[in-house]
Every structure is written in structure tokens, then in C-alpha cells.
Amino acid sequence: MRLLLSNDDGCHAPGLAALRAAMATVCDDVVTVAPDRNRSGASNSLTLERPLRVREVDDNVFAVDGTPTDCVHLATTGLFDEDADMVVSGINTGANLGDDVLYSGTVAAATEGRSLGLPAIAISLVGDACVHYDTAARVAVSMVRLLVAHPLPADTILNVNVPDRAYEDLAGYRATRLGYRHRAEKLIADRDPRGRRVYWIGPAGAQADAGPGTDFHAVNDGFVSITPLQIDLTRHASLSSLSDWLDRL
């Protein structure tokens, strides 16, 4: 089995180091392809306007001057002779809960591994300070082992969020649905040192749907939240009403 690791915090992030160390205990063929800079918020973006450069920065660790999706895309379309069986992306510094997954590069890297032989995992550490990467790493190890022993369908993408606490203090595991957040906070208007107007994207909104069954709820209660994601964005339930609506055109 060959594991492909990536992330969106960049190849130097502590979460990736923890994941690499943990995965080495599960599998003797691990390769990492990650952005050379922090690319949080990159979503599934692909770099189409310029070519990418790949640099081996450590043994079997490759840095790409692109997005998380670029990394996994290159790794699965010819960068290596051999295909990976599974992508594990993370350990992200900070939550990827609710609508965060739309913007998350961590989740996008996992999504890009959807054509490989095994499910893909995106794993994030939830907390303001982010100390217990070892906890998330143990969770990742357990999940990879279980996936190998009891495979899930290959196009499954698991979005895993781990509370930032000692492994012993976790309340357990829960299968969850995504909650959602309130509208994002207002933009932050500022001026650069030359007096020109600039705008920063504001913080994500507060939890809006964080009721029982959601990923927010599980994590708030100390559980590891595991949400199965789909790649098919069709809202199938609306198809027939949309068809009726179109008849009016």
C-alpha cells in the first residue's frame, strides 16, 4: 500500500510533520506532496495559468509552488511511476467544520484523491491553540488501519475533526453531518502604509446550525467528528420541481 500525504498549511507545518511520523508506523511506502507555502482557503483551485515546480525538500517529501489540489493532481497524474492507494490530508491547524469545507484546501486535497483505490481522509485539529497534534495523528492511524481491514467505497471522502485535547480525553467517535455557519463577518477595510485602501476577507461566521447530529455538535461535546462527503454536487431532490419550473420558460 502506498499512502499519499498532503495538506494546505504547507510543507513546513507541524501538523504535516506529526502526520508523516504517524503514517510511517502504518505503512512503509509514504510519499508527501504539499504546497511550499500556507495555502489555507485554497479550496479545489487548480493552477492553470502557469506551470508548477516540484522540489524534494526531504526524503520523499515534495514541495510544490501551487495549491493542495495541484499537489494531489500532479501526484496522481504522472509525477510518480506508481499510483497511491489513498490520500490523507492534514493535520490541519484549526477546524474544518460546516461550510468551512467549501473553502478548505485540506478537504480539497482529499477530494482530489477520489479516484484512487481507497477512501480519502482530511483531518483537522479543532482548537484555538492547536497543541495535541499527536491526538489527531493517533486518530489518523486508527482510521487508516480500519480502512485497510474493512474498506469503505473508494469514492468515500471522510472529513475528520479532532478536538485539541489528549487522546484519553476524547469522548469517542461520531458519524456526523455538516452543520453550517452564519454569514461571514464583515470585510475588514484598512489602509496600506501609502494610504491606499485595502480589504481583508473577514473571519468565518459563527455556528448557525450546530444541533445534534452536526459536526459542530460532536466536536463541542469532545467527540471526533467524521463526516462522509460527496463529490456529486447535484441537488437531486430538486430535479423534478426544477423541470416543472423550466416548463414556464
183-212 residues in contact with a second copy (CB under 8 A) are 183-190, 192-194, 196-203
Which span sits near a second copy by CB under 8 A: 14-22, 24-32, 130-138, 233-241? 233-241
36 is in an annotated binding site: no
Which span sits near a second copy by CB under 8 A: 19-27, 84-92, 130-138, 144-152? 144-152
Contact 165, 222 (CB under 8 A): yes
Give me the least distance between CB of 50 and a second copy, in Å please. 4
Written as nine digits, the cell of 92 is 490541519
220 is in an annotated binding site: no
Beta bridge partners of 64: 35, 54
Q: Which is nearer to a second copy, 82 or 198 (CB)?
A: 198
Report the 10 Å Cβ neighbour count for 150: 7
Give me the least distance between CB of 29 and a second copy, in Å please. 21
Q: Which is nearer to a second copy, 28 or 248 (CB)?
A: 248
| # residues contacting a second copy (CB under 8 A) | 93
- Write the Ramachandran bin of 189: left for phi over 0, alpha for psi from -120 to 50, otherwise beta: beta
107-136 residues in contact with a second copy (CB under 8 A) are 108, 111, 115
153-182 residues in contact with a second copy (CB under 8 A) are 156, 158, 173-178, 180
Contact 35, 69 (CB under 8 A): no
| Angstrom distance (rounded) from CA 241 to CA 186 | 35
9 is in an annotated binding site: yes
Write the DSSP string, 123-152: EEEESSS---HHHHHHHHHHHHHHHHHSPP
Contact residue for a second copy among 1, 26, 27, 52 (CB under 8 A): 52
18-37 residues in contact with a second copy (CB under 8 A) are 36-37
Give me the least distance between CB of 155 and a second copy, in Å please. 9
Pairing of strands 172-175, 223-229: parallel
Give me the least distance between CB of 1 and a second copy, in Å please. 19
| Angstrom distance (rounded) from CA 94 to CA 41 | 12
Scanning the structure block, which residue is given the C-alpha cell 489555507?
40
238 is in an annotated binding site: no
Contact 53, 65 (CB under 8 A): yes
Give me the least distance between CB of 25 and a second copy, in Å please. 17
Annotated binding site for a divalent metal cation: 8-9, 40, 92
